Amino acid sequence: MVMHNFNAGPSILPKEVFQEASKAILDFNNTGLSILEIGHRTPLFEGVLNEAVSLLKELMNLDSNKEVLFLHGGASTQFFQIPMNLLAEGKTAAYLDCGVWGSKAIKEAKLFGNVNVVASSKDKNYSYIPTGYEIPDDVSYFHYTTNNTIEGTEMHSIPQTNVPLIADMSSDILSTVMDFNKFSLIYAGAQKNIGAAGVNILVIDKNIVGLAGRKLPTMMDYKNHIENGSMLNTPPVFAVYVCMLTLRWLKKIGGVAAIEKINDQKASLLYNTLDALPMFNLPVAKQDRSKMNVVFTISDPEVEKAFLQTCKDNGMYGVKGHRSVGGFRASLYNALPLESVQALCDLIKDFAAKKG
Amino acid sequence: MVMHNFNAGPSILPKEVFQEASKAILDFNNTGLSILEIGHRTPLFEGVLNEAVSLLKELMNLDSNKEVLFLHGGASTQFFQIPMNLLAEGKTAAYLDCGVWGSKAIKEAKLFGNVNVVASSKDKNYSYIPTGYEIPDDVSYFHYTTNNTIEGTEMHSIPQTNVPLIADMSSDILSTVMDFNKFSLIYAGAQKNIGAAGVNILVIDKNIVGLAGRKLPTMMDYKNHIENGSMLNTPPVFAVYVCMLTLRWLKKIGGVAAIEKINDQKASLLYNTLDALPMFNLPVAKQDRSKMNVVFTISDPEVEKAFLQTCKDNGMYGVKGHRSVGGFRASLYNALPLESVQALCDLIKDFAAKKG
């Protein structure tokens, strides 16, 4: 059975990335050694890391004051590492509360300073992105989540602000053309558009490092990681290697602009299919729909169960909604081919015709 | 050319681990999916994690009050996470200063409380393990490094103490039979005897959790990781999988007792070879020699250079000493076959005969 992977993360990666990674575990670059057994302080791995850094700089079109880091941990580590580095005791940071992950980031920030939640969509189960809020000029930074993986909402423009802008882009990084240089800090926990799980990608403006003036553990201080080029200790070698392969693939197919076109096609196809069928409910406000995570439900629990079974029987993997919200979620990350979305749409239409 | 990998880390892993891991990247357990694209909250990955935990419990013969965790980061993360969790402000922890890594752990602990360095071998470049020191009964815990990867020393017995015992076993975990239950916390950053890089293995006594009484970031609190079974956030899936494969291999070949015998043979063979040749200097005190990392030097810089070239020409990888000490280091971790040590000894004897 052909598998179609709609999982929210870890998620599908390009087929050639799997092939290349599998080969490198047996013999990396014809060295006779596995990528898993090479020293990290060798030209072999330094080549991998350097290529990953320059590919990301190129794909994001980054200014020269931006540093790219590959760190241990996931986005959840950044939830506290950011305020630890950038929010001094007694100072205030502004946060937008748009979903489960953003609210977790808020909780961690409160351990280090004051938090001003400028707006929240919690009143309607995070089914929309708030507008009309103001970001004060005297806060240390403004933090938001560009795409809410669980709730299926996405911010389609960059907020206007005069303070350092920080974004969790874990689930939509490199999916859409945007001015990445507007951000003082971007972070993305693998594995969604970039893999594999077990590494955290940071794009950081050198000028904001040390903003909190706090004495930090060595491994928590961005300054140390920048000075040591992500090699303060043994990095997650294989995860960095898979990131590099994913970035290489993205460049080859034409970069962010090219993948955005395909992502638009995929999202339109699925949303249009679902919109046309009364059996399916789409809880997210239309203008805030995510192009990465399409969330939908079926009201009748029996029909819901039958739909999940049909997905399973037809190799549609990972369509079940997040355990905290239920229903369904189809994730359409960069590596998911249009053909998989077409196959899911065909299944949806077929199912609705039979059960509708 | 056949490669022999003596690298200090990341290091050699069993051949069958490479083969299995390579296969799982293309098709994991006949699912038609890659191990890199499966959801972590699925029976597929839960099976991997549970097997890794129970294999480690079995191989270490752990009591029921011990928890096994697989966390993000390396040992360097534990250098601060341990005192953050276990050393209250104003309280004192005792540390043994036996090498570069131990001294880094001491530096981080000082951020959280007082440190009593009970003994140090810094006076002689960490070339021996101090004895005759006392560990006070009123400290929060005692911390030491079982094997000093850079300096090539190893502690061959467990210190006597009435306080919680904490050990960094990054470079000799599972190499020798010992009573692992004597420790309140054992940690080991992959990748040496267990791989792949990008994961931290912890064995922790449930009773010491929360000892510092400090308010902690969610991701830093051992309690949260225990309650969530190492699944507080997306774990480093592939690194955990490779750990599981390595543990499975160790069990298959007879466990820690069986590998200890082979490790003893490998270390004796190499030390005896070097001891017999006046060209080579062994800086480490005989009784404290590491069975994992054999450190040696050649006085003449020209001959030193020639030896490194000979190693390179004959597929002996990673024999160069750590950048901070120079000379040579041959790491004889669990997965290194006796044949590789034999090949290195033959090369050493041959080289000495020609240049001696």
- A23: alpha, beta or left? (left if phi > 0; alpha if psi -120 to 50): alpha
- In terms of C-beta distances under 8 Å and separation of at least 24 residues, what long-range contacts does B272-275 make, across chains too? B273/B345, B273/B348, B273/B349, B274/B348
Task: With a threshold of 0.85, tell me whether the complex ipTM lies above it.
Answer: yes
pLDDT by residue, tens only, chain B of 356 residues? 899 999 999 999 999 999 999 999 999 999 999 999 999 999 999 999 999 999 999 999 999 999 999 999 999 999 999 999 999 999 999 999 999 999 999 999 999 999 999 999 999 999 999 999 999 999 999 999 999 999 999 999 999 999 999 999 999 999 999 999 999 999 999 989 998 999 999 999 999 999 999 999 999 999 999 999 999 999 999 999 999 999 999 999 999 999 999 999 999 999 999 999 999 999 999 999 999 999 999 999 999 999 999 999 999 999 999 877 789 999 999 999 999 999 999 999 999 999 87
Q: Pick the residue from chain A with its C-alpha nearest to B75.
A: A233
Q: Which residues of A touch B242 (CB under 8 A)?
A: 36
Q: Which residues of B are catalytic?
A: 101, 168, 192
From the list B77, B195, B217, the residue facing A80 with the nearest CB is B217
d(CA A72, CA B172): 22
CB A41 within 8 A of CB A229: no
- E strands, A193-301, are 200-205, 280-281, 293-298
CATH number of A15-252: 3.40.640.10
Residue B149 annotated in ligand binding? yes
Q: Smallest CA–CA separation between B265 and chain A, in Å?
A: 23
Tokens standing for A185?
A: 């800090």
How does residue A192 score in pLDDT terms, banded at 50, 70 and 90? very high
Residues sharing a CB contact under 8 Å with residue B328, sequence separation 6 or more, in sequence order: B295, B296, B297, B298, B307, B308, B319, B320, B321
Cα dihedral angle (B149, B153, B154, B155), rounded to 10 degrees? -130
Binding site of A, by residue number, is: 41, 75-76, 101, 149, 168, 191, 233-234
- Closest listed residue to residue A347, CA positions, set A292, A308, A294: A308
Asked if A233 and B74 come within 8 Å (Cβ–Cβ), the reply is yes
Tokens standing for A121?
A: 């969509």
Tokens standing for B122?
A: 């810094």
Q: Is the peptide bond before B81 cis (omega within 30 degrees of 0)?
A: no
CATH 3.40.640.10 domain span(s) along chain A: 15-252
Asked if B239 and A239 come within 8 Å (Cβ–Cβ), the reply is yes
Residue environment code for A198-225, b if the CB has 16+ CB neighbours within 10 A, otherwise e: bbbbbbbbeebbebbebebbbbbbbeeb
Q: Smallest CA–CA separation between B253 and chain A, in Å?
A: 21
Q: Which residues of B touch A220 (CB under 8 A)?
A: 80
Asked if B10 and A36 come within 8 Å (Cβ–Cβ), the reply is yes
> How high is the pLDDT of residue B326?
84
Q: Which residues of A touch B232 (CB under 8 A)?
A: 76
CB atoms within 10 A of CB B334: 26
d(CA B255, CA B263): 12
Tokens standing for B346?
A: 């033959």
Q: Smallest CA–CA separation between A208 and chain B, in Å?
A: 22
Asked if A76 and B233 come within 8 Å (Cβ–Cβ), the reply is yes
- Closest listed residue to residue A291, CA positions, set A121, A171, A167, A166: A171
Asked if B77 and A219 come within 8 Å (Cβ–Cβ), the reply is yes
Asked if A13 and B3 come within 8 Å (Cβ–Cβ), the reply is no
Cα dihedral angle (A247, A253, A256, A260), rounded to 10 degrees? -130
Q: Which residues of A touch B5 (CB under 8 A)?
A: 33, 37
Residues sharing a CB contact under 8 Å with residue B54, sequence separation 6 or more, in sequence order: none
> How high is the pLDDT of residue B313?
97
- How many inter-chain contacts (A to B, CB under 8 Å) are there? 198
CB A96 within 8 A of CB A133: yes
CA distances from A79 to A188, A329, B104, B237 (A): 11, 25, 25, 20
- Closest listed residue to residue B152, CA positions, set B278, B307, B8, B269: B8
Q: Smallest CA–CA separation between B196 and chain A, in Å?
A: 6
Q: What share of chain A is helix, strand, coil (3-state, %, to 5)?
A: 40, 15, 45
Q: Pick the residue from chain B with its C-alpha nearest to A192.
A: B37
d(CA A128, CA A151): 9
- Closest listed residue to residue A129, CA positions, set A286, A280, A8: A286
- E strands, A49-159, are 66-71, 92-97, 114-120, 142-145, 147-148, 153-154
Residue B168 annotated in ligand binding? yes
Three-class SS state of A214: coil
Q: Which of A1, A12, A34, A242 is most worth mutating to test chain B (most B CB atoms within 10 A of its CB)?
A: A34
Asked if A219 and B26 come within 8 Å (Cβ–Cβ), the reply is no
Asked if A3 and B199 come within 8 Å (Cβ–Cβ), the reply is no
- Closest listed residue to residue A112, CA positions, set B221, B216, B112, B233: B216
CATH number of A255-355: 3.90.1150.10
CATH 3.90.1150.10 domain span(s) along chain A: 255-355
Q: Which of B87, B234, B329 is most worth mutating to test chain A (most A CB atoms within 10 A of its CB)?
A: B234
